[in-house]
Amino acid sequence: MDHLIFHLAVSLAIGLLVGVERGWRERKEAEGSRTAGVRTYALVGLLGGVSAALSQALASPALLIVTGLAAIALFAVFKYREMQRDKDYSVTGIIAAMLVFALGALAVVGETAVAAAGAIAVTALLAEREVLHRLVRHLTWPELRSAVLLLGMTVIVLPLLPDQTVDPFNSINPRQIWLFMVLTAGISFAGYVAVKVAGPEKGILFSALGGALVSSTAVAIAFARRATAGEPPGLLAGGAALAAMVSVLRVLVICAVVRPELLLHLGPPALAAAAGFGACGAIMMRREAGARGDANLGNPIEVAPLTAFAALFGTVSAVSGFLLRAVGPDSLYAVSAVAGLVDVDVPSLNATRLAGNGLSMEGAALCILIALGMNGVGRIIFAAAGGTRAFTLRFAVATLVAAAAAAAVLVGVRVL
Protein backbone atom coordinates (compact mmCIF):
# COMPACT_ATOMS: atom_id res chain seq x y z
CA MET A 1 0.00 0.00 0.00
CA ASP A 2 2.79 2.46 0.89
CA HIS A 3 4.47 1.62 -2.40
CA LEU A 4 1.30 2.42 -4.38
CA ILE A 5 0.66 5.65 -2.46
CA PHE A 6 4.17 6.85 -3.31
CA HIS A 7 3.70 6.15 -7.02
CA LEU A 8 0.31 7.86 -7.06
CA ALA A 9 1.89 10.85 -5.31
CA VAL A 10 4.45 11.03 -8.12
CA SER A 11 1.62 10.90 -10.68
CA LEU A 12 -0.08 13.80 -8.91
CA ALA A 13 3.20 15.73 -8.71
CA ILE A 14 3.73 15.28 -12.45
CA GLY A 15 0.38 16.89 -13.17
CA LEU A 16 1.04 19.66 -10.67
CA LEU A 17 4.40 20.46 -12.24
CA VAL A 18 3.00 20.83 -15.74
CA GLY A 19 -0.14 22.50 -14.40
CA VAL A 20 1.83 25.20 -12.60
CA GLU A 21 3.57 26.15 -15.85
CA ARG A 22 0.26 26.15 -17.77
CA GLY A 23 -1.47 28.13 -15.02
CA TRP A 24 1.33 30.67 -14.76
CA ARG A 25 1.22 31.29 -18.51
CA GLU A 26 -2.54 31.98 -18.33
CA ARG A 27 -2.52 33.64 -14.91
CA LYS A 28 -3.99 36.89 -16.24
CA GLU A 29 -7.07 35.21 -17.68
CA ALA A 30 -10.41 35.44 -15.90
CA GLU A 31 -11.42 32.66 -13.48
CA GLY A 32 -13.10 29.77 -15.31
CA SER A 33 -12.27 31.10 -18.77
CA ARG A 34 -9.72 28.38 -19.53
CA THR A 35 -10.14 24.66 -20.07
CA ALA A 36 -7.35 23.58 -17.77
CA GLY A 37 -5.07 24.98 -15.10
CA VAL A 38 -3.13 23.70 -12.14
CA ARG A 39 -5.92 21.56 -10.69
CA THR A 40 -7.00 20.03 -14.00
CA TYR A 41 -3.52 18.94 -15.04
CA ALA A 42 -2.86 17.59 -11.53
CA LEU A 43 -6.06 15.54 -11.71
CA VAL A 44 -5.15 14.26 -15.20
CA GLY A 45 -1.80 13.03 -13.87
CA LEU A 46 -3.47 11.36 -10.88
CA LEU A 47 -6.11 9.85 -13.18
CA GLY A 48 -3.33 8.30 -15.25
CA GLY A 49 -1.77 6.79 -12.13
CA VAL A 50 -5.08 5.45 -10.76
CA SER A 51 -6.02 3.99 -14.15
CA ALA A 52 -2.65 2.24 -14.39
CA ALA A 53 -3.03 0.84 -10.84
CA LEU A 54 -6.51 -0.47 -11.58
CA SER A 55 -5.45 -2.00 -14.89
CA GLN A 56 -2.66 -3.82 -13.07
CA ALA A 57 -4.94 -5.01 -10.27
CA LEU A 58 -7.59 -6.25 -12.71
CA ALA A 59 -5.03 -7.50 -15.27
CA SER A 60 -6.85 -5.45 -17.90
CA PRO A 61 -4.68 -3.12 -20.04
CA ALA A 62 -7.85 -2.12 -21.91
CA LEU A 63 -9.04 -0.21 -18.84
CA LEU A 64 -6.02 2.08 -19.00
CA ILE A 65 -6.43 2.61 -22.74
CA VAL A 66 -10.17 3.35 -22.57
CA THR A 67 -9.78 5.71 -19.61
CA GLY A 68 -6.95 7.57 -21.34
CA LEU A 69 -8.89 7.97 -24.59
CA ALA A 70 -12.02 9.13 -22.77
CA ALA A 71 -10.12 11.67 -20.65
CA ILE A 72 -8.23 13.13 -23.58
CA ALA A 73 -11.37 13.23 -25.76
CA LEU A 74 -13.23 15.16 -23.04
CA PHE A 75 -10.28 17.50 -22.63
CA ALA A 76 -10.03 18.02 -26.40
CA VAL A 77 -13.73 18.93 -26.72
CA PHE A 78 -13.48 21.73 -24.19
CA LYS A 79 -10.12 22.83 -25.54
CA TYR A 80 -11.59 23.01 -29.06
CA ARG A 81 -14.35 25.34 -27.88
CA GLU A 82 -11.77 27.52 -26.17
CA MET A 83 -9.63 27.60 -29.31
CA GLN A 84 -12.62 28.63 -31.42
CA ARG A 85 -13.38 31.49 -29.04
CA ASP A 86 -9.78 32.73 -28.93
CA LYS A 87 -9.00 31.93 -32.60
CA ASP A 88 -6.07 29.85 -31.37
CA TYR A 89 -4.72 27.02 -33.53
CA SER A 90 -2.18 25.53 -31.11
CA VAL A 91 -2.68 21.95 -29.87
CA THR A 92 0.12 22.25 -27.31
CA GLY A 93 -2.33 22.10 -24.38
CA ILE A 94 -3.93 18.89 -25.65
CA ILE A 95 -0.58 17.22 -26.24
CA ALA A 96 0.56 18.33 -22.77
CA ALA A 97 -2.53 16.75 -21.20
CA MET A 98 -1.90 13.49 -23.09
CA LEU A 99 1.69 13.45 -21.84
CA VAL A 100 0.61 14.16 -18.25
CA PHE A 101 -1.81 11.22 -18.34
CA ALA A 102 0.79 8.92 -19.91
CA LEU A 103 3.55 9.96 -17.50
CA GLY A 104 1.17 9.56 -14.56
CA ALA A 105 0.49 6.01 -15.69
CA LEU A 106 4.20 5.36 -16.26
CA ALA A 107 4.95 6.43 -12.69
CA VAL A 108 2.80 3.50 -11.48
CA VAL A 109 3.54 0.73 -13.99
CA GLY A 110 7.05 1.67 -15.07
CA GLU A 111 10.07 3.57 -13.85
CA THR A 112 9.06 6.37 -11.49
CA ALA A 113 12.35 8.25 -12.02
CA VAL A 114 11.88 8.13 -15.81
CA ALA A 115 8.34 9.47 -15.49
CA ALA A 116 9.50 12.30 -13.23
CA ALA A 117 12.35 13.17 -15.61
CA GLY A 118 9.89 13.18 -18.50
CA ALA A 119 7.64 15.60 -16.62
CA ILE A 120 10.55 17.94 -15.99
CA ALA A 121 11.51 17.81 -19.68
CA VAL A 122 7.91 18.54 -20.74
CA THR A 123 7.66 21.48 -18.33
CA ALA A 124 10.99 22.87 -19.51
CA LEU A 125 9.87 22.72 -23.16
CA LEU A 126 6.58 24.44 -22.34
CA ALA A 127 8.27 27.12 -20.24
CA GLU A 128 10.87 27.94 -22.89
CA ARG A 129 8.36 28.64 -25.66
CA GLU A 130 9.57 32.18 -26.32
CA VAL A 131 13.22 31.16 -26.28
CA LEU A 132 12.61 28.30 -28.70
CA HIS A 133 10.53 30.45 -31.04
CA ARG A 134 13.19 33.16 -31.02
CA LEU A 135 15.85 30.52 -31.72
CA VAL A 136 13.94 29.21 -34.72
CA ARG A 137 13.43 32.72 -36.08
CA HIS A 138 17.15 33.45 -35.97
CA LEU A 139 18.31 29.98 -37.02
CA THR A 140 20.04 29.88 -40.41
CA TRP A 141 20.02 26.97 -42.83
CA PRO A 142 23.76 26.17 -42.38
CA GLU A 143 23.24 26.05 -38.61
CA LEU A 144 20.27 23.71 -38.90
CA ARG A 145 22.10 21.55 -41.44
CA SER A 146 25.17 21.32 -39.23
CA ALA A 147 23.14 20.40 -36.15
CA VAL A 148 21.34 17.62 -38.05
CA LEU A 149 24.65 16.42 -39.50
CA LEU A 150 26.26 16.28 -36.05
CA LEU A 151 23.30 14.38 -34.63
CA GLY A 152 23.41 11.93 -37.54
CA MET A 153 27.14 11.36 -37.09
CA THR A 154 26.65 10.72 -33.38
CA VAL A 155 23.35 8.88 -33.09
CA ILE A 156 23.13 7.00 -36.39
CA VAL A 157 26.61 6.31 -37.76
CA LEU A 158 28.74 5.96 -34.60
CA PRO A 159 26.80 3.02 -33.06
CA LEU A 160 26.94 1.12 -36.37
CA LEU A 161 30.73 1.15 -36.66
CA PRO A 162 32.72 -1.81 -35.26
CA ASP A 163 34.57 -1.07 -32.04
CA GLN A 164 37.56 -3.20 -32.93
CA THR A 165 40.63 -3.03 -35.15
CA VAL A 166 40.18 -4.09 -38.76
CA ASP A 167 43.76 -4.03 -40.12
CA PRO A 168 46.60 -6.58 -39.94
CA PHE A 169 48.61 -4.30 -37.63
CA ASN A 170 45.85 -4.11 -35.01
CA SER A 171 45.78 -0.31 -35.09
CA ILE A 172 42.80 1.02 -37.13
CA ASN A 173 39.60 1.17 -35.10
CA PRO A 174 36.73 2.62 -37.23
CA ARG A 175 34.66 3.69 -34.24
CA GLN A 176 37.62 5.40 -32.61
CA ILE A 177 38.42 7.31 -35.79
CA TRP A 178 34.78 8.31 -36.29
CA LEU A 179 34.50 9.33 -32.65
CA PHE A 180 37.39 11.72 -33.17
CA MET A 181 35.57 13.16 -36.19
CA VAL A 182 32.46 13.63 -34.04
CA LEU A 183 34.52 15.34 -31.34
CA THR A 184 36.11 17.66 -33.89
CA ALA A 185 32.73 18.51 -35.40
CA GLY A 186 31.24 19.01 -31.94
CA ILE A 187 34.02 21.39 -30.92
CA SER A 188 33.58 23.33 -34.14
CA PHE A 189 29.83 23.62 -33.64
CA ALA A 190 30.15 24.52 -29.95
CA GLY A 191 32.73 27.17 -30.81
CA TYR A 192 30.45 28.60 -33.49
CA VAL A 193 27.60 28.89 -30.98
CA ALA A 194 29.89 30.34 -28.31
CA VAL A 195 31.16 33.05 -30.66
CA LYS A 196 27.65 33.90 -31.80
CA VAL A 197 26.32 34.13 -28.24
CA ALA A 198 29.27 35.52 -26.25
CA GLY A 199 31.18 37.38 -28.97
CA PRO A 200 34.48 36.47 -30.66
CA GLU A 201 36.79 36.93 -27.68
CA LYS A 202 34.90 35.04 -24.99
CA GLY A 203 33.46 32.54 -27.44
CA ILE A 204 36.88 31.53 -28.79
CA LEU A 205 38.34 31.39 -25.29
CA PHE A 206 35.55 29.19 -23.92
CA SER A 207 35.51 26.82 -26.89
CA ALA A 208 39.33 26.55 -26.89
CA LEU A 209 39.65 25.70 -23.20
CA GLY A 210 36.64 23.40 -23.20
CA GLY A 211 37.59 21.66 -26.44
CA ALA A 212 41.18 21.12 -25.27
CA LEU A 213 39.88 18.87 -22.51
CA VAL A 214 38.91 16.54 -25.34
CA SER A 215 41.57 17.22 -27.99
CA SER A 216 43.77 20.20 -28.75
CA THR A 217 44.28 18.79 -32.25
CA ALA A 218 40.56 18.94 -32.88
CA VAL A 219 40.53 22.54 -31.61
CA ALA A 220 43.37 23.48 -33.98
CA ILE A 221 41.55 21.91 -36.95
CA ALA A 222 38.26 23.61 -36.08
CA PHE A 223 39.90 27.00 -35.52
CA ALA A 224 41.95 26.74 -38.72
CA ARG A 225 38.80 26.15 -40.74
CA ARG A 226 37.06 29.05 -39.01
CA ALA A 227 39.99 31.31 -39.92
CA THR A 228 39.29 30.64 -43.60
CA ALA A 229 35.71 31.83 -43.02
CA GLY A 230 36.92 35.29 -42.06
CA GLU A 231 37.16 35.15 -38.27
CA PRO A 232 40.14 37.00 -36.71
CA PRO A 233 43.25 34.80 -37.07
CA GLY A 234 44.97 36.28 -34.02
CA LEU A 235 42.12 35.40 -31.68
CA LEU A 236 41.83 31.93 -33.17
CA ALA A 237 45.58 31.27 -33.05
CA GLY A 238 45.67 32.51 -29.46
CA GLY A 239 42.80 30.19 -28.59
CA ALA A 240 44.55 27.26 -30.28
CA ALA A 241 47.72 28.04 -28.30
CA LEU A 242 45.76 28.05 -25.04
CA ALA A 243 44.19 24.74 -26.06
CA ALA A 244 47.69 23.33 -26.58
CA MET A 245 48.62 24.53 -23.10
CA VAL A 246 45.65 22.67 -21.63
CA SER A 247 46.66 19.55 -23.58
CA VAL A 248 50.14 19.56 -22.04
CA LEU A 249 48.73 20.10 -18.56
CA ARG A 250 46.25 17.27 -19.14
CA VAL A 251 49.11 14.89 -19.93
CA LEU A 252 50.85 15.93 -16.71
CA VAL A 253 47.69 15.23 -14.72
CA ILE A 254 47.42 11.76 -16.29
CA CYS A 255 51.04 11.03 -15.39
CA ALA A 256 50.50 12.31 -11.85
CA VAL A 257 47.63 9.88 -11.39
CA VAL A 258 49.19 6.83 -13.08
CA ARG A 259 52.92 7.24 -12.31
CA PRO A 260 53.63 10.25 -10.03
CA GLU A 261 57.40 9.64 -9.91
CA LEU A 262 57.54 10.27 -13.66
CA LEU A 263 56.85 13.96 -13.02
CA LEU A 264 60.40 14.44 -11.74
CA HIS A 265 61.68 13.93 -15.28
CA LEU A 266 58.68 15.10 -17.32
CA GLY A 267 57.38 17.99 -15.22
CA PRO A 268 59.98 20.77 -15.75
CA PRO A 269 60.13 20.73 -19.59
CA ALA A 270 56.40 20.08 -19.94
CA LEU A 271 55.52 22.96 -17.62
CA ALA A 272 57.88 25.21 -19.56
CA ALA A 273 56.10 24.28 -22.80
CA ALA A 274 52.71 24.92 -21.21
CA ALA A 275 53.92 28.32 -19.99
CA GLY A 276 55.16 29.16 -23.49
CA PHE A 277 51.82 28.25 -25.06
CA GLY A 278 49.91 30.13 -22.37
CA ALA A 279 51.97 33.31 -22.70
CA CYS A 280 51.75 33.37 -26.51
CA GLY A 281 48.03 32.62 -26.46
CA ALA A 282 47.31 35.37 -23.96
CA ILE A 283 49.40 37.91 -25.88
CA MET A 284 47.77 37.11 -29.24
CA MET A 285 44.26 37.27 -27.84
CA ARG A 286 45.02 40.51 -26.02
CA ARG A 287 46.39 42.14 -29.18
CA GLU A 288 43.22 41.43 -31.13
CA ALA A 289 40.82 42.26 -28.30
CA GLY A 290 37.74 43.92 -29.73
CA ALA A 291 38.13 42.33 -33.17
CA ARG A 292 34.91 41.53 -34.92
CA GLY A 293 34.69 37.85 -35.73
CA ASP A 294 30.97 37.32 -36.14
CA ALA A 295 30.55 39.01 -39.53
CA ASN A 296 31.18 35.82 -41.49
CA LEU A 297 31.09 32.70 -39.37
CA GLY A 298 30.61 30.34 -42.30
CA ASN A 299 29.24 26.82 -41.86
CA PRO A 300 29.62 25.36 -38.35
CA ILE A 301 30.60 21.94 -39.77
CA GLU A 302 32.27 21.07 -43.07
CA VAL A 303 32.36 17.43 -44.15
CA ALA A 304 35.38 17.53 -46.51
CA PRO A 305 38.02 18.61 -43.93
CA LEU A 306 36.66 16.09 -41.43
CA THR A 307 36.88 13.29 -43.97
CA ALA A 308 40.42 14.23 -44.94
CA PHE A 309 41.48 14.26 -41.32
CA ALA A 310 39.88 10.86 -40.70
CA ALA A 311 41.87 9.42 -43.62
CA LEU A 312 45.08 10.90 -42.23
CA PHE A 313 44.25 9.65 -38.74
CA GLY A 314 43.82 6.12 -40.09
CA THR A 315 47.06 6.32 -42.07
CA VAL A 316 49.08 7.48 -39.08
CA SER A 317 47.52 4.77 -36.90
CA ALA A 318 48.42 2.12 -39.49
CA VAL A 319 52.02 3.34 -39.75
CA SER A 320 52.48 3.34 -35.96
CA GLY A 321 50.95 -0.13 -35.77
CA PHE A 322 53.29 -1.37 -38.51
CA LEU A 323 56.34 0.01 -36.72
CA LEU A 324 55.33 -1.62 -33.47
CA ARG A 325 54.72 -4.96 -35.19
CA ALA A 326 57.81 -4.90 -37.43
CA VAL A 327 60.43 -3.46 -35.08
CA GLY A 328 58.96 -4.36 -31.69
CA PRO A 329 59.29 -2.51 -28.38
CA ASP A 330 62.52 -0.87 -29.57
CA SER A 331 60.38 1.24 -31.88
CA LEU A 332 58.62 2.93 -28.95
CA TYR A 333 60.23 6.29 -29.67
CA ALA A 334 59.29 6.08 -33.36
CA VAL A 335 55.77 4.96 -32.48
CA SER A 336 55.40 7.90 -30.07
CA ALA A 337 56.56 10.25 -32.81
CA VAL A 338 54.16 8.90 -35.44
CA ALA A 339 51.16 8.48 -33.14
CA GLY A 340 51.78 11.89 -31.60
CA LEU A 341 50.98 13.56 -34.93
CA VAL A 342 47.27 13.01 -34.33
CA ASP A 343 46.88 12.08 -30.68
CA VAL A 344 49.05 12.60 -27.62
CA ASP A 345 47.03 10.61 -25.09
CA VAL A 346 47.65 7.10 -26.46
CA PRO A 347 51.48 7.29 -26.70
CA SER A 348 51.63 9.15 -23.38
CA LEU A 349 49.55 6.51 -21.61
CA ASN A 350 51.59 3.74 -23.22
CA ALA A 351 54.88 5.26 -22.07
CA THR A 352 53.48 5.96 -18.59
CA ARG A 353 52.34 2.36 -18.29
CA LEU A 354 55.79 1.05 -19.28
CA ALA A 355 57.70 3.46 -17.02
CA GLY A 356 59.57 1.34 -14.48
CA ASN A 357 58.38 -1.84 -16.23
CA GLY A 358 60.96 -2.37 -18.93
CA LEU A 359 61.39 1.31 -19.68
CA SER A 360 63.36 3.76 -17.55
CA MET A 361 61.74 6.89 -16.16
CA GLU A 362 64.00 9.03 -18.35
CA GLY A 363 63.04 6.96 -21.40
CA ALA A 364 59.32 7.20 -20.63
CA ALA A 365 59.57 10.96 -20.13
CA LEU A 366 61.43 11.27 -23.44
CA CYS A 367 58.71 9.24 -25.22
CA ILE A 368 56.03 11.56 -23.86
CA LEU A 369 58.01 14.67 -24.78
CA ILE A 370 58.47 13.30 -28.30
CA ALA A 371 54.72 12.70 -28.54
CA LEU A 372 54.00 16.22 -27.28
CA GLY A 373 56.48 17.71 -29.74
CA MET A 374 55.14 15.77 -32.71
CA ASN A 375 51.61 16.66 -31.66
CA GLY A 376 52.65 20.30 -31.96
CA VAL A 377 54.06 19.58 -35.43
CA GLY A 378 50.84 17.80 -36.38
CA ARG A 379 48.73 20.74 -35.29
CA ILE A 380 50.80 23.09 -37.45
CA ILE A 381 50.43 20.74 -40.43
CA PHE A 382 46.66 20.61 -39.98
CA ALA A 383 46.54 24.39 -39.55
CA ALA A 384 48.49 24.89 -42.78
CA ALA A 385 46.25 22.45 -44.63
CA GLY A 386 42.93 23.92 -43.51
CA GLY A 387 43.61 27.45 -42.31
CA THR A 388 44.91 30.76 -43.53
CA ARG A 389 48.55 31.80 -43.67
CA ALA A 390 48.04 34.39 -40.93
CA PHE A 391 46.56 31.80 -38.57
CA THR A 392 49.24 29.20 -39.35
CA LEU A 393 52.15 31.60 -38.84
CA ARG A 394 50.85 32.84 -35.51
CA PHE A 395 50.16 29.34 -34.27
CA ALA A 396 53.57 28.13 -35.49
CA VAL A 397 55.30 30.93 -33.57
CA ALA A 398 53.50 29.92 -30.38
CA THR A 399 54.49 26.30 -30.92
CA LEU A 400 58.13 27.20 -31.53
CA VAL A 401 58.24 29.36 -28.38
CA ALA A 402 56.81 26.47 -26.33
CA ALA A 403 59.26 23.99 -27.88
CA ALA A 404 62.21 26.30 -27.24
CA ALA A 405 61.18 26.79 -23.61
CA ALA A 406 60.87 23.03 -23.09
CA ALA A 407 64.22 22.36 -24.79
CA ALA A 408 65.98 25.02 -22.71
CA VAL A 409 64.66 23.60 -19.46
CA LEU A 410 65.45 20.03 -20.53
CA VAL A 411 69.06 20.94 -21.38
CA GLY A 412 69.40 22.95 -18.18
CA VAL A 413 68.18 20.08 -16.04
CA ARG A 414 70.58 17.63 -17.70
CA VAL A 415 73.50 19.99 -17.23
CA LEU A 416 72.69 20.41 -13.56
Q: Along the 416 residues of the chain, how does pLDDT read in single tens digits?
A: 678 899 999 999 999 999 898 888 777 676 666 777 788 899 999 999 999 999 999 988 999 999 999 999 998 888 888 888 878 777 888 899 999 999 999 999 878 999 999 999 999 988 888 777 776 777 777 778 888 888 888 888 888 888 888 877 776 788 877 887 787 677 667 767 766 666 666 777 877 887 776 678 888 888 888 888 888 888 899 999 999 998 899 888 878 887 888 888 899 999 999 999 999 999 998 887 655 444 445 566 767 767 776 776 677 667 766 766 776 656 678 878 887 887 787 777 767 766 776 668 888 888 889 989 999 999 999 888 878 899 999 999 999 999 999 999 988 876 65
Given CA atoms 365, 369, 370, 372 in this order, what sign does their dihedral have? Answer: positive
List strand residue ranges (DSSP E) for 26-153, in order.
none
pLDDT score of 33: 63
Distance CA 99, CA 166 (A): 46
Q: 395 with 216: CB under 8 angstroms?
A: no
pLDDT score of 198: 65
pLDDT score of 347: 78
- How far are the Cα atoms of 30, 212, 348, 373 from residue 250, in angstroms, in the given order? 60, 9, 11, 15
Closest to 285 measured CA to CA, from 402, 199, 406, 157: 199
Chain-centroid distance of CA 190 in Å reads 8
pLDDT score of 330: 60
Distance CA 122, CA 17 (A): 9
Q: 100 with 18: CB under 8 angstroms?
A: yes
Domain boundaries, the chain: 2-135, 140-415
pLDDT score of 107: 93
pLDDT score of 293: 45
Question: 355: which strand partners?
Answer: 359
pLDDT score of 275: 95
Distance CA 353, CA 375 (A): 20
Chain-centroid distance of CA 102 in Å reads 31
Distance CA 107, CA 255 (A): 46
pLDDT score of 321: 66
Indicate the burial class of 216 (C-beta count within 10 angstroms; 0-12, 13-18, 19 or more). Answer: buried
Distance CA 154, CA 156 (A): 6
